[in-house]
Amino acid sequence: MKHYAVIGHPIGHSLSPLMHNTAFQLLGLDCQYEALDIEPASLKQAVEHFREQKWGGFNVTVPHKEAIIPLIDEVVPEALAVGAVNTVVNRNNKLIGYNTDVIGVERSLHLEREKIEGTMCTIMGSGGAARSVAHVLIHIIRPKAITFSVLFPEQAQAIIKSLGSNNVQFNVIHCTDAALETAIKNSTLIVNATTVGMFPHVLDSPLPNQHWLSNKHIVFDLIYRPLTTRLQSDAHAAGAKTIDGLGMFIHQGAAAFQLWTEKDMPLDQVRQVLETKLTSDND
């Protein structure tokens, strides 16, 4: 049996085991996937364990997407360009890092690309997920400007420096700065790349005032549990276009699944199982 996992801290909210184990079962693959809570101090030890036990690979989530890079053998150019790894493949005991979050972001925003191009955007967050969103915006969609609303401004500055500008203007503000209101009101796209609002803290929102939202906004929340976050509910009430995190979650997972197994994930059936689980969360 081949073993796989997702590592993060905390990790109890993750539906990655349900997604991948469902796909393994549907395709009759002798594989098992689990969620492992790995604290930052134990990351190196965990990576060596996966190598020694010849695991097939693993996913990487908050807060390890950047810290994992020096601990593996190779990082493919796109993941290196993003500066974050969310998928590791074990090929003949060589650990290779990929970033499938980029695929998830690109597919989630694909239908809105023309509306976003040449406009202002706000990304809330400065971790690995924010890096993936910024990469897609800068190199594929090309808005006029991006404002990062963050807890740690130096992290956002590091993203800007590593990704390059591609003629996109940047602004970095602290998430408590009064300038956030202007940034939100002037943006077409608003992205939540933080964990604020994630299960079980479903009443929280990264925006201090829901009245900043309007029907001109596109609000993309990378959180998929709950399926409809507080931010999305507020955006929907304001008449904004909303994009939930489930599509991104499934597409990044399917890309990882393909890297590990060289098989296509049965997307429709997997989505149905995940939607059933997420709906039951609200019961």
In DSSP notation, 118-150 reads TSEEEEE--SHHHHHHHHHIIIII--SEEEEEE
79/100 Cα distance (integer angstroms): 8
Q: For the chain, give the number of residues.
A: 283
120/95 Cα distance (integer angstroms): 38
Neighbours of 195 (CB within 10 A): 20
Catalytic residue set:
65
Query: 129: Cβ–Cβ under 8 A, 6 or more apart, which residues?
Result: 62, 65, 84, 101, 193, 222
Strands 189-192 and 218-221: parallel
Alpha helices in the chain (DSSP H): 16-26, 43-52, 77-82, 101-109, 113-116, 128-136, 153-163, 179-186, 230-237, 246-261, 267-281
What are the CA-CA distances from residue 274 to residues 23, 103, 167 (Å)? 11, 19, 39
In DSSP notation, 208-241 reads S-GGG--TT-EEEE---SSSS-HHHHHHHHTT-E
- State whether residue 19 is helix, strand or coil: helix
Give yes or no for a contact between 69 and 97, defined as CB atoms under 8 angstroms apart.
Answer: yes
